[in-house]
Structure 1
Amino acid sequence: MTNSNNYCVIMGGGIGSRFWPFSRKSLPKQFLDFFGTGRSLLQQTYDRFSKIIPPENIFIVTNDLYFSLVQEQLPQLSASQILLEPTRRNTAPCIAWASYHIHALNPNANIVVAPSDHLILKESEFLESIDKGLKFAAKSSDLLTLGIKPNRPETGYGYIQIDEQREGDFYKVKTFTEKPELELAKVFVESGEFYWNSGLFIWNVNSILKAFNGLLPELVAKLTADEGVYGTEKEKAFIDEYFPACPNISIDFGIMEKADNVYVLMGDFGWSDLGTWGSLYDLSPKDKDKNVSLKGDTLMYNSKDNIVVLPEGKLAVLQDLEGYLIAESDNVLLICKKDEENSIRKFVNDAQIKMGEDYI
Structure 2
Amino acid sequence: MNKDYYAVIMAGGIGSRFWPVSTSDFPKQFHDMLGTGQTLLQKTFGRLNKIIPSKNILVLTNERYLQLTLKQLPQIAEEQVILEPAMRNTAPCILLSALKIKKQNPNALMLVAPSDHWIEDETAFLEDVQICFDACQRKDYLMTLGIKPTFPNTGYGYIEAEKKESSVIKKVKQFREKPDYETAKQFLAAGNFMWNAGIFLWSVKSISDAFEENNPVMHALFSEGIPAYNTSEEKEFIAENYGKAENVSIDYAIMEKADNVYVKKASFDWNDLGTWGALHDKMDKDSQENAVVRAVPHLKEAHRNMVYTASKKLVVVDGIDDYIIVDKEDVLLIYPKEKEQDIKSLLADVKENFGKKYT
TM-score category of the 2 structures, normalised to the smaller one: over 0.9
Structure 2 matches for 1:278-297, cutoff 5 A? 278-297=277-296
Question: Which residue identity lines up with residue 321 of structure 2 in the other structure?
Answer: E
- Report the counterpart of residue 270 of structure 1 in structure 2: 269
- Report the counterpart of residue 340 of structure 1 in structure 2: 339
SS for the counterpart of 1:263 is strand
Structure 2 matches for 1:80-159, cutoff 5 A? 80-159=79-158
Distance 2:310 2:171 in 1: 47
- Report the counterpart of residue 316 of structure 2 in structure 1: 317
Question: Which residue identity lines up with residue 126 of structure 2 in the other structure?
Answer: L
Deviation at 1:106, TM superposition (A): 0.8
- Report the counterpart of residue 20 of structure 2 in structure 1: 21
Answer yes or no: is the 8 Å Cα contact 1:308–1:325 preserved in 2: yes
Distance 1:254 1:167, change over 3 A: farther
SS for the counterpart of 1:48 is helix
Distance 2:212 2:287 in 1: 55
Q: What is the aligned-residue identity percentage?
A: 44
Structure 2 matches for 1:190-229, cutoff 5 A? 190-229=189-228
Answer yes or no: is the 8 Å Cα contact 2:100–2:226 preserved in 1: no
Q: Deviations over 1:174-215 (max 9, x none)?
A: 121222222221221122111111211000111111111222
Deviation at 1:35, TM superposition (A): 2.0
Answer yes or no: is the 8 Å Cα contact 1:164–1:172 preserved in 2: no
Deviation at 1:269, TM superposition (A): 0.9
Distance 1:202 1:16 in 2: 24
Distance 1:33 1:137 in 2: 34
Question: Which residue identity lines up with residue 76 of structure 1 in the other structure?
Answer: Q
Answer yes or no: is the 8 Å Cα contact 2:35–2:293 preserved in 1: no
Distance 1:179 1:148 in 2: 14
- Report the counterpart of residue 243 of structure 1 in structure 2: 242
Query: How large is the RMSD of aligned CA atoms in angstroms?
Result: 1.5
Q: Deviations over 1:230-251 (max 9, x none)?
A: 1211011110111122111111
Q: Deviations over 1:227-285 (max 9, x none)?
A: 31112110111101111221111111221122221100111211111111111010111
Question: Which residue identity lines up with residue 103 of structure 2 in the other structure?
Answer: A
Answer yes or no: is the 8 Å Cα contact 1:165–1:172 preserved in 2: no
Deviation at 1:357, TM superposition (A): 1.4
SS for the counterpart of 1:146 is strand
TM-score normalised by structure 1 residue count:
0.96
Task: Give the count of matched residue pairs.
Answer: 359
Answer yes or no: is the 8 Å Cα contact 2:163–2:192 preserved in 1: no
Question: Which residue identity lines up with residue 6 of structure 2 in the other structure?
Answer: Y
- Report the counterpart of residue 171 of structure 1 in structure 2: 170
- Report the counterpart of residue 33 of structure 1 in structure 2: 32
- Report the counterpart of residue 61 of structure 1 in structure 2: 60
Distance 1:318 1:181 in 2: 35
- Report the counterpart of residue 302 of structure 1 in structure 2: 301
Distance 2:130 2:75 in 1: 23
Question: Which residue identity lines up with residue 225 of structure 1 in the other structure?
Answer: E
Question: Which residue identity lines up with residue 174 of structure 1 in the other structure?
Answer: K
Distance 1:15 1:50 in 2: 24
- Report the counterpart of residue 71 of structure 1 in structure 2: 70
Stretches of structure 1 that go unaligned for 5 or more consecutive residues are: none
Stretches of structure 2 that go unaligned for 5 or more consecutive residues are: none
Answer yes or no: is the 8 Å Cα contact 2:225–2:234 preserved in 1: no
Deviation at 1:302, TM superposition (A): 2.3
Deviation at 1:37, TM superposition (A): 1.8
- Report the counterpart of residue 188 of structure 1 in structure 2: 187
Answer yes or no: is the 8 Å Cα contact 1:23–1:29 preserved in 2: yes
TM-score normalised by structure 2 residue count:
0.96
Distance 2:49 2:287 in 1: 39
Distance 1:242 1:29 in 2: 28
SS for the counterpart of 1:164 is coil
Answer yes or no: is the 8 Å Cα contact 2:324–2:337 preserved in 1: yes
Deviation at 1:165, TM superposition (A): 5.2
Distance 2:97 2:345 in 1: 32
Answer yes or no: is the 8 Å Cα contact 1:3–1:54 preserved in 2: yes
Answer yes or no: is the 8 Å Cα contact 1:297–1:310 preserved in 2: no
Question: Which residue identity lines up with residue 52 of structure 1 in the other structure?
Answer: I
Deviation at 1:127, TM superposition (A): 0.3
Distance 1:226 1:188 in 2: 42
Deviation at 1:134, TM superposition (A): 0.7
